[in-house]
Amino acid sequence: MSNKLIYNGTVLTMNAANPIFKPGYVYVEHDVIKEVGEWKTDGSMDHLLAKSSYSYNAAGKVVIPGIINGHTHLFQTFMRGVSDHSPLAQWLKEIIWPMSLAMEPEDFYLAALIGCIENLKSGATYMMDHHYIHTYPENDASVLRAMVDSGIRGHLARGGSDLAGEIRLRETEEMIFDSTDRLLDEWDGAASGRIRIALGPLNLYGCSRGYLEKAALFSQERKLISHVHVAETSEQIDTTMARYGLRNLELLNEVGLLGERTQVVHGVWLDDGELELIKAKQASVIHCPVSNMYLASGVARVPEMLKMGINVALGTDGPGSNNCQDNLEVLKFTACLHKVNELDATLLPPMDVLRMATVNGAKAVGRSADLGSLEPGKKADIVTVDMLKAHISPVHRASSSLVYNANGNDVDLVMVGGQVVVEHGRSTWIDEQEVLQRAQARVDILRGKLAVQYPIFAIIE
Ligand SMILES: [Zn+2]
């Protein structure tokens, strides 16, 4: 029997009653949490130590449920930091699309693998990857192989766009749905259930109404999550208003794509009626504060959404607009952005932010029953964060230290389904240095090719 014990740490369970055990322990059998509670040092718990094949003394560390990164595009690790001063439309045309078109299937694997490692090492055990580049038929599989090899859990939302601004990235409805069905056959439930497939129409302006309507039926028939960029910038609202006289979210609702399995990504430019629609349809919003700030897209009405009872989860967004995948950094940005935006320091206390990253994330991916908190019966997706650091210690409230002090480099242990995939802050499944060197060599070649046509790739500073 594969039993594991994490003991002697501060355990933030994030369960409904929200108990904190200090010191506490989490005891795991196979891939499931069996016990969570207070750790006693009087010898009465030595039997747990004795029957564990792996034990981890979490003294000085906080133990949390794995973070759920609700939105990313892993392939974009290859274009992070090419330019840090472009608005969304220009950023797509001059950086994202050219690099996407130049990348080969093995590049998608390498790029995604770096992203998976970074997600794990910054505390995410679950990730929703919105993959919409299908220049080669094997691109999706390249990303999925990276997810399997790294040890992370997650969804690949099969992106699709029949009206993409870059013609070479357009696909027909038939291509999108056929390939999604193939992915469902070949990958849904792979790696002992770690891998799932979702539907990811790219956005409301790059998809025709006909395609969106069929996507609604497709996801209803197969009970899939629908993951869609909605109202990221104000210009996107103008596009659907001009075409259909509807705002982004109104169109999503009209075509039948708004429901409890829908993830509204960004949702920055939503009016009162649209917020009511999200609430009525019990959809989730995936808030990506770093990306919204980086691309100067705007500020989503997150405190209002939470007050209304809308489920708001968090995401890093792709490394092209973040530029990292540091899931702990997102917590601080979330709190700070909304405090300054509303000039109200009382907004978003640390526990609320942590809840968004864990419990709300699990709800958004339909996994409230087995993910998002440390409770007996749930999957053993567990993270420890080292608090004995000069930029964190001394600690008054672990929740505050996690949100405002810690960053991804402080993550020490990551367990996914009871398997240790990061230990002492290093991936145990992947030779990280080898992957990073290979990726840099490939990116240097791609930069050389792209610089001929796109001067932005030639800039060295
Ligand atoms: Zn995105």
What integer is the mean pLDDT of 295-323? 96
Token code pair at residue 121: 């090492």
> Do 356 and 422 sit in the same domain of this protein?
no
In a domain? residue 15: yes
Cα 227-228-230 angle, rounded to 5 deg: 145
Q: What is the pLDDT of residues 104-126, one digit of tens each?
A: 999 999 999 999 999 999 999 99
Total structural domains within the chain = 2
Question: Which of 352, 317, 312 shows the shortest CA–CA distance to 335?
Answer: 352
Domain that holds residue 406: 3-65+371-426
Question: Which of 126, 183, 130, 44 shows the shortest CA–CA distance to 383?
Answer: 126
Please give the pLDDT value at position 85. Answer: 85
First to last CA, the chain: 55
> Do 360 and 378 sit in the same domain of this protein?
no
88: left (phi over 0), alpha (psi -120 to 50) or beta: alpha
Does residue 143 surpass a pLDDT of 70? yes
Q: What span, in angstroms and rounded, lies between the C-alpha atoms of 251 and 260?
A: 16
3-state helix, strand, coil in the chain (%, to 5): 45, 20, 35
Token code pair at residue 248: 């982004």
- Confidence band (pLDDT; 50, 70, 90) for 1? low
CA–centroid distance, 46 to ligand 1, in Å, is 48
Q: What span, in angstroms and rounded, lies between the C-alpha atoms of 193 and 249?
A: 32
CA distances (Å), 366 to each of 8, 120, 168, 282, 379, in order?
A: 32, 21, 34, 12, 14
> Do 167 and 36 sit in the same domain of this protein?
no
Please give the pLDDT value at position 284. Answer: 98
Q: How many residues does the chain have?
A: 461
- Confidence band (pLDDT; 50, 70, 90) for 99? very high
Whole-number average pLDDT of the chain: 96
> Do 377 and 351 sit in the same domain of this protein?
no
Give me the sign of the Cα torsion angle 7, 379, 417, 199: negative
What integer is the mean pLDDT of 338-356? 98
Q: What is the pLDDT of residues 269-297, one digit of tens each?
A: 999 999 999 999 999 999 999 999 999 99
What integer is the mean pLDDT of 347-375? 98
Please give the pLDDT value at position 84. Answer: 86
DSSP state of 395: P
CA–centroid distance, 267 to ligand 1, in Å, is 11
In a domain? residue 418: yes
Q: Model-level pTM?
A: 0.97
CA–centroid distance, 458 to ligand 1, in Å, is 25
CA–centroid distance, 19 to ligand 1, in Å, is 34
* Ligand 1 ion: residues within 5 Å (CB): 317
- Confidence band (pLDDT; 50, 70, 90) for 433? very high
CA–centroid distance, 392 to ligand 1, in Å, is 31
In a domain? residue 205: yes
In a domain? residue 228: yes
> Do 304 and 382 sit in the same domain of this protein?
no
Q: What span, in angstroms and rounded, lies between the C-alpha atoms of 435 and 455?
A: 27
DSSP SS3 for 330: helix
CATH number at residue 10: 2.30.40.10
> Do 18 and 158 sit in the same domain of this protein?
no
Question: Which of 99, 81, 161 shows the shortest CA–CA distance to 324?
Answer: 81
CA–centroid distance, 54 to ligand 1, in Å, is 38
In a domain? residue 306: yes
CA–centroid distance, 72 to ligand 1, in Å, is 6
Q: What span, in angstroms and rounded, lies between the C-alpha atoms of 63 and 401?
A: 13
User: Burial code of 405-426, b = ≥16 C-beta within 10 A, e = fewer?
Assistant: bbbbebbbbbbbbbbbbbeeee
In a domain? residue 439: no
CA–centroid distance, 21 to ligand 1, in Å, is 36
Lowest average pLDDT, out of 105-119, 251-265, 428-442, 443-457, goes to 443-457
64 class by beta-carbon count within 10 Å (0-12 exposed, 13-18 middle, 19+ buried): buried
CA distances (Å), 268 to each of 128, 209, 461, in order?
A: 19, 21, 33
> Do 19 and 129 sit in the same domain of this protein?
no
Please give the pLDDT value at position 87. Answer: 83
Q: What span, in angstroms and rounded, lies between the C-alpha atoms of 43 and 45?
A: 5
> Do 295 and 415 sit in the same domain of this protein?
no
> Do 265 and 346 sit in the same domain of this protein?
yes
Q: What span, in angstroms and rounded, lies between the C-alpha atoms of 305 and 320?
A: 27
